[in-house]
Each structure stands twice: as C-alpha cells, then as structure tokens.
Structure 1
Amino acid sequence: MKNNEVEIVELNEENWYECCQLTLTKDQEAYMESNAVSIAQTKFEPSLKAFAIYYGEKVVGFLMFNSEKEELDGYWIYRIMLDEAYQRKGIGKIATELMLGEMAKLPDAKKIVVGYHPENKGAHQLYESLGFVDHGDRFGKEMAVVKTL
C-alpha cells in the first residue's frame, strides 16, 4: 500500500534485516522492544503481520499488528517504529494510516486498539491525531486507546 513517497511493504527476505538496523532515540528505547525481537515474534505467532515502512526506496521504519482479535474485542497494533533520523516528518503518521487501512479489511473490523506507556508523548500525539480515544483501559504499565471504525 502506498501514499506518495511513503509505502508499507510486508516483511520479506529483502527488507527484514534493514528493519533490524533501524534505531530509536535513547528516550524511546525504554518503551519498545527491538525490531529483531518483534520479527522473531512473528515466527512463533503467525497471526502477527509485519511490514517495513519505506520512504522512497529506503526502509525507514517497521510496524506490526495482530490479524486476530484480542482484548477489548479489537485488532491490536503491536509496533510502530520509525528510525530516529526520519521522525517528525509526517512519515510515521502516513504509514500508520496505511496500516489502519489494511487492518480495516480484517474480518468484522470494528475496533483497532493500541497500547503504549503513558509517558510516551510522541505515541500519545500520534494516536490522538488519528482518532484513538482513551476509555481508561489499562494493561500493566500501558494504557490502551481505541479507534472505532
């Protein structure tokens, strides 16, 4: 799926390693597993769908969601990460919109849910701008916000 210069491409033998080489800011590292761990997780949980985020011809990010419903009767976003050199340019928001479009095609897709640490201000701003709403759901140290389709 593509939007101008931003495209999401299912993880494959040509882009998985580049996703493993992407870096976060030091502050963000506390909030997210490495892409390598996420990619390994997809091998043991086949319902997880992983994508590389391209900006032009370059891999600049990684995202992953579950294609089976979970808590709150919704489909969950597991990862959205953008290399620190490409943040604050609108790329992550476009990639997330493309992913939401893919998730909306899943069977009986009525809700999309994402969990994140309340201190992660960047995640909060992104999800709020995309119409996710905090209904007070908490899972351990994370808050869960919901987008109704």
Structure 2
Amino acid sequence: MSTNNVKIVELNAENWYDCCELEVSKEQKEYIEPNAISIAQSKFEHTLKPFAIYFEERVVGFLMYNSVQEELDGYWVYRIMLDKKFQGKGIGKAATKMMISEMTKLPNVKKIVVGYHPENLGAHNLYSSLGFIDNGDRFGKEMAVIKYINGR
C-alpha cells in the first residue's frame, strides 16, 4: 500500500465529527482516550494542536501535540490514533512523520516526547522505528520516549 495518499489536516468544522467516530481495536481501548475527549481538551488548552489524519481523502485517524515545551524540556505528542480498519498499513507512521515535521518548526525544538503504556506494543514499535529513545523516564503508568532533533 502506498502512503503517498496520507495527509494531516488541522481539525476543523468539516472533519471533527469524523474523528469522533473513529475506533481503535478492543486491545487498544485501555491505552488511549476517546478522540471526543481529546478534541474537548484542545478547546480548553489552547496550546494543543489537533489534526485529522486522511488517507485517500477519508478521515482515518487523529493526532494532537502541544505547541509549548513541557516536562523533559520537550514538545509532547498527546495523541496518535488510527481507526482499527486502517492499522498496519503504514498510514500511522506516515502521519507521525508529518507531525514530527510540523513539530520541528516550533521554537527552540530540541526534543519531541511521547508517553505511552509499556504494554502498548504498537506504539512501542512505531516510536522506536522513528528514532525515539527510551531513557527510562516514567510518568505514572506511562513511559516517555524522546526523539532528539538534530542540529538544534
């Protein structure tokens, strides 16, 4: 499958509801908040940047990151999810690369950080394949991995 047809689009009046209807697999439900919760959170925490993930002009996923630095002096990825019907096809990885590219435009970015449950193997495989490193940072039940941005 080609991932050339993947794009991320800022959440808007045309795509927010489609994002709310997306579902992860049963095994993943305990690891991620529903998209409706994340969208509501972005309306109260204005530094959060929510996006819809599109594949072939169809909304298939959701992602969100913070546009200000937080713990570990990094910019945090808050959510990345792909509908269960579109997982395992490289779409999530392509969208995550696009998000990282957007995040590298933020002021003084040296680190991008993402937290996830250690038993979430899909997240582990995705982030390690994109160069995120586990330095042993833990926040409650989640581990935090870091991608160092070169030349910054």
Distance apart, 1:122 and its partner CA? 0.3
Q: Aligned partner of 2:111: which letter?
A: K
**Structure 1 segments (4+ residues) deviating >6 Å:** none
2:144 alignment partner in structure 1? 144
Q: State the identity as a percent.
A: 69
Listed as ranges, the matches of 1:44-59 within 5 Å are 44-59=44-59
| SS of 1:8 mapped into structure 2 | strand
Distance 2:113 2:136 in 1: 12
C-alpha displacement of 1:56: 1.0
Q: Which amino acid aligns with 1:46?
A: H
| Counterpart in the other structure of 1:65 | 65
Instruction: Find the residue that maps to 1:30 and give its secondary structure.
Output: helix
Q: How does 1:2-81 map to 2 (within 5 A)?
A: 4-81=4-81
In structure 2, list runs of 5 or more residues that go unmatched.
none
| Structure 1 position 82 matched with structure 2 position 82 | yes
The CA distance in 2 between the partners of 1:4 and 1:129, in whole Å, is: 19
User: How far apart are residue 109 of structure 1 and its match?
Assistant: 0.6
What's the TM-score once normalised by structure 2's chain length?
0.96
State the distance in 2 between where 1:64 and 1:5 align: 20
User: How far did residue 4 of structure 1 move?
Assistant: 1.9
Partners in 2 of 1:78 and 1:61 — Cα distance? 14
> Residue deviations 1:17-71, cap 9 Å, x none?
0000000100100000000000000000000000000001100000000000000
